[in-house]
Structure 1
């Protein structure tokens, strides 16, 4: 996947756990884990909005583009 969500860095900067973020945004730990591990195929704008609100960041700080390896 070329676009991924970088939750680790934002959580580390805010000294926040995935559990705490889950409680603040109202998203299950399992769903946040899917985003965190790069297994998500899509993300809703409402989810992105809640993450940015609680992490105090812009969408561009969460979304990263990486070149895919062509095999």
Structure 2
């Protein structure tokens, strides 16, 4: 279970918020670790908020299926 936590803002004098960058780094790492595991459980015809799949792709599939009949 993931618990929310606060990252204290740290500044190094040049205006860069290291706390925000640190959190973004961990979010990117979690995405790269978790995404392949969840992507493998989806059906091949699932579209939506998936990488490389869009509503336009779903419309093309539906158009091809309906014109074959």
Determine if the TM-score, normalized by the shorter chain, exceeds 0.5: no
Query: TM-score, structure 2 length as denominator?
Result: 0.23
Query: TM-score, structure 1 length as denominator?
Result: 0.23
More strand by share: 1
Whose radius of gyration is greater, 1 or 2?
Answer: 2
Which structure has more RCO (C-alpha within 8 Å, separation ≥ 6)?
Answer: 1
